[in-house]
Amino acid sequence: MADYHFHVTQIKRSKGQSAVACAAYRSGEKLYSDYYGEVSDYTRKQGIIHSEILLPAHVPPEYSDRQTLWNSVEKAELHPKAQLAYSFDIALQNEFSMEENIALARQFLFDEFVSKGMICDFAVHLPDRKDGIQNPHFHVLCPMRPLDENGQWGAKQRRVYRLDENGNQVLSKDGQPLFEAVPTTDWSSPETLEHWRKAWCDLCNAKFAEKGFDERIDHRSYERQGVELLPTVHEGSTVRAMEKRGIQTEKGSLNRWIKSTNKMILAAEKKVSAMKNWVSENRQSSIVRSLNAYNSMQNASAYSQTAKVKNLKELTADINFLKANGIETFEDLQVKLDELNDKIDGFKAQSNEKSARLKEIDNLLIWTQHYAENKPVAEELSKIKWKSKHEKFKAENENSLRLYHLAERKLKPYFKNGKLPTGEWRNEKVQLQKDFEEIQKQFSEVREGVKRLWQIKYKVEQANNQTKENEKSKRRNEYEI
């Protein structure tokens, strides 16, 4: 199934990150950081199949060397909490060959990034997921500062001074001119990110169409698409890191369930919709007669009695399925398809309701943890009577106290006799997870029914097409005679 993932973050010193180390990890190289005085060696990292640096025409060629480039970026940033680079993580498509994927990624980067003056450190990774399916994706690191023809890094922002109606600078109370910090590029704007996400989507979809595939990807959320499917929950860096190490988490398991269910729902809805259109165009033929005709076609090319017996068993199973579901005519099939549509909508509604409640409980449990962890700090503060000591303790524990009071306000409606129903929430969470399993089990039965009808549709189509070909051949023979 086509995959869409387009994620951007920033490489920041405030998080202890190094642009040189990040570049080494993504490219699988050994690089030395002048800023930190450290070597980052990822030459043993597996799954890196391509890396290169794409330069705009005006950028000096020495920046095609990865170590030179990123040490220069580090040197240009003087602040200990500086933002160093944009980091993109973008999914490639299993439906395309790796050569096609790399060419597509390079085209996207040249068209959307390099053409705007951005330097791109580009690496393609091909790890395997636990289910054996490959997970091709590419990473891109882009310096935040623009670079001029002389190899000088430009400013990220410029000052635009505030002016009054007479064109004079507006001053602050202490006599300093007031100004706004305006970015020198549009690289960080939400509009640009939205444009990039859509551009990548359009490029992949054009490739799907070129190759004759029905798959399509969409950069919009399910809500923006108007698709009533289950959104996945936000995992966060800690959960993703645990999952990456093979440690299954509750959020990770829930997201796997949601993705699996969404995939089944989309496939079922697509098949039901196609069958409803097909039914409206084929009411004149008999389903059972067409199945018998298909069986005769299969028997005509069967090389053994065993094959004919197998064909007969399949025909009997199809007819029994139709009888069990009260389907004799195309009108009956239309009714059954409407019923399946209603069931699918019901499963979506149930799943959405339970998913929303599960997210709500998770959120409450997180706030409960914040409340419990930071309550001792608030209690300690309340015991301090001396004003100077009180203010000092308050300043030193500002974050803990802020979290405590936020949690207190959030949880206030849920206190019962001075206690929170934490145990009830955890029990309800366990029950909701069991409910999810039951919903998926029930939906699997609906899915199997849809698959059986889809197979019957194929057989009827094949039989009807053969009948039309026979009639054409008969008319040609009559004309020749």
pLDDT score recorded for residue 284: 62
Q: Kindly indicate the confidence band of residue 264, based on its pLDDT and cuts at 50, 70 and 90.
A: confident
Q: Are residues 215 and 255 in the same domain?
A: no
Helix (H) or strand (E) holding 403: helix 398-411
Total-model pTM: 0.48
Task: Select, from the ranges 151-165, 184-198, 211-225, the one with the highest average predicted confidence (pLDDT).
Answer: 184-198
| Residue 156 confidence (pLDDT) above 70 | yes
pLDDT of residue 132: 47
55-71 confidence digits (pLDDT tens): 999 999 999 999 999 99
Task: Please report, for the domain that includes residue 448, its CATH number.
Answer: 1.20.1270
pLDDT in the model for residue 481: 55
Give the end of a domain, one of 171, 204, 219: 219
Number of Cβ atoms within 10 Å of the Cβ of 242:
16
Structure-token pair, residue 194: 């939205």
Mean pLDDT of 283-311: 82
Q: Are residues 196 and 86 in the same domain?
A: yes
Do residues 203 and 316 both lie within one domain? Answer: no
Name 270's Cβ contacts closer than 8 Å, sequence gap at least 6.
none
Query: For residue 157, is it within any domain?
Result: no
Model pLDDT for residues 1-30, shown as the tens digit of each residue: 457 788 899 999 888 889 999 999 999 999
Q: Which residue, 55, 58, 68, is CA-closest to 19? A: 68
SS3 label, residue 370: helix
Domain assignment of residue 226, yes or no: no
**More confidently predicted of 247 and 227:** 247
Domain ranges, residue 307: 250-481
Q: Is 158 a member of any domain?
A: no
- Give me the pLDDT at residue 131, please: 44
**Do 202 and 316 reside in the same domain of the chain?**
no
User: Does residue 478 surpass a pLDDT of 90?
Assistant: no
What is the pLDDT, as a whole number, of residue 226? 53
In the structure encoding, which two tokens stand for residue 30, read together? Answer: 């050994």
Residues 215 and 254 reside in one and the same domain: no
Q: Are residues 382 and 279 in the same domain?
A: yes
- pLDDT interval class at 120 (50, 70, 90): very high
Domain edge (last residue) among 203, 219, 235: 219
pLDDT given at position 450: 87
- Are both 421 and 291 inside the same structural domain? yes
Strand partners, 166: none
Residue pair 354/429 in contact (Cβ under 8 Å)? The answer is: no
Confidence grade of residue 128 (pLDDT, cut at 50, 70, 90): low
Which residues fall within 8 angstroms of residue 426, CB to CB, at 6 or more apart?
A: 365
Q: Are residues 317 and 462 in the same domain?
A: yes
**Is the domain of 214 the same as that of 259?**
no
The reply to whether 97 falls in a domain is yes
Number of domains the chain is built from: 2
Per residue in 333-366, pLDDT tens? 888 888 888 888 888 888 888 888 888 888 888 8
Q: Is the same domain home to 214 and 65?
A: yes
